[in-house]
Structure 1
């Protein structure tokens, strides 16, 4: 058993209420109490954030515990260890003496050790004739035994919080992946919806993620992201259901009957010979109507249909003309995704589409893109989107060997309906946003 009573520190070290409380707790240990010291040390390592001690302080405590000869800390034994600073430094891999003193003081302040200072401040032991320890001066491990239950609960609490934080991070990662891929799919397939607004809401939530997160911070962000994913899914599912229902076999809207009974087939054209010997192609189907339009000689333009039917407009376009130019994306999104083109605008800024197209002409020359390639892109994509593609190429110019060939390839793919600008813009916007977030 340790000597009863309260001891004060040697020298200039002042007595504190914390030291007094630690010694009072140590006096309450039952003689029957015992705990495996290395199991207790593992709990200490788990509970370190709650105990407010550093990892190096725990290394010093580990060295002190190694000087206790038994594996079990028992309330019936003298739990004072008394190594010299030199021996303690060797077991802490050569830690400097001043550093040892600082960490020992931190362990005492945390209530994990109690000083048992001798009259001269040295650490030593007095033994009786039988070799049993009579008086020992050094550091008592009794507070560890007294607080074993508390330390175990703190360790379990820290472990539970860590597991909760891990699950929240995993769920946020899955929801982020779903949102990004769903928006990209919607843009690639041309589904209607305010997808750029969804992307903006997604970024607002992502920018709120700190480098060191807690469950209190992550829970509302996860809730907002899950609500956004549900909104995106609802918007897509409605359009998918409508699209699929229009193609069911039992629907009659796609079955066309020829109103002229003398026709042998609805899909084959009829060739009639005029009096002047010319052949005229007649058909009731849209495809053959286009062929008939190509077969007719050029003449005065017919008046445009006043109803403005979109399907009628598409029929009047000649075969091989490709899809109509895509609508331009918002200029702020383009500048966020492609900031490197801004200095090439008039006066070093870009405030309108005209400024962006002016900058694109300058960048086109700088990237050695031929005027014909840029004109083809303007014809297929539209002037705004062509300027946007130039800005994207400038942003990734270090990874593109031939900017002109790349632009021609994108134009050909867009003409076949195989390329949309949305995914490219979103990828660049996320790439340019990442450093700002992590500086996350």
Structure 2
């Protein structure tokens, strides 16, 4: 930390499939106090639960080992703790995997803190209404996962432990950032203006490259330089919560008033009352000012006491998806592809599947028929794929390049659970021993 005046926090991942090198660059050159990797989405954790059911040793983020293998040497050398929700559906196994990576790298004494308690499958009421449509949870399909969005208070014991790596399951994205900020800057958990400010910082950083020009880029309207080598963001946060968002010099992308304001509104439903586990965030007074090249100052968040309930993401089995395609080329290619689609739609009209048929491409060039369907059983889904494959000899001339796939579909709905029904715990893994604290 910079002489107890500011804290520099960086974001090295905005989703499970994010790039790894920009995070390593942040650790190597960013003079960070902490690095956060936000790698979890609603469907991600439900899919992790399914992997864990198949193998109790799995269920955490599949790229955990790759990320930590790249990051830990520099992070440990520079004393930069890594905080991440890569624990997904199995934080304890993720912690053991992290320790194994450290051992393989020859890094001695690496302490890993694991935060659990978000898995509330045994505590939800399946007759409770889903927030999205009011229907009982059980009506959506067989429930396979239920994970509460933990807040910063659940992470604070792990952060305060001095662990080199903190791994969690489902935690609200901004809370991953708020916890180390609150600990490092000495904020009271009931100091709502500062908790709101930290939550705002977390919301701005949580998607990594989105705020530095990725996803923002729109050629001719919003041009972004060097987007192929996009740098990831960090924020210098003062004790009063004022933050300056920036990126490393020499990296691609940009940080401007426009990129920050676009991320500010991302996924916000009510800017006067954005509900998080830590605070009811009010963004109406937020100001965004450019204070230098790739440097934007943000302040003015307001907050009210946190809700008495926690949001729960509920995953359920929603059926089976069939995806299939076939290509047509040369003169009349689009009309032949359209005819192929009409044939498939006609033959599956009474099959009891939700079907979508479309053609991509211009006439005279390669045109691709794309067929997608949602079916109740894998056999019904396979029937869809079979009809597309049958077009080789039962459809228009010149079809080729058939590709088919059948996958399970995980649906997501939400519900609420009283805060007191959720019991987070922290476990410290070090030197082949474990310590647990409530």
TM-score bracket, normalised by the shorter chain, equals under 0.3
TM-score normalised by structure 1 residue count = 0.22
TM-score normalised by structure 2 residue count = 0.22
Higher RCO, Cα 8 Å, sep 6+: 2
Higher strand share: 2
Higher helix share: 1
| Larger Rg belongs to | 1
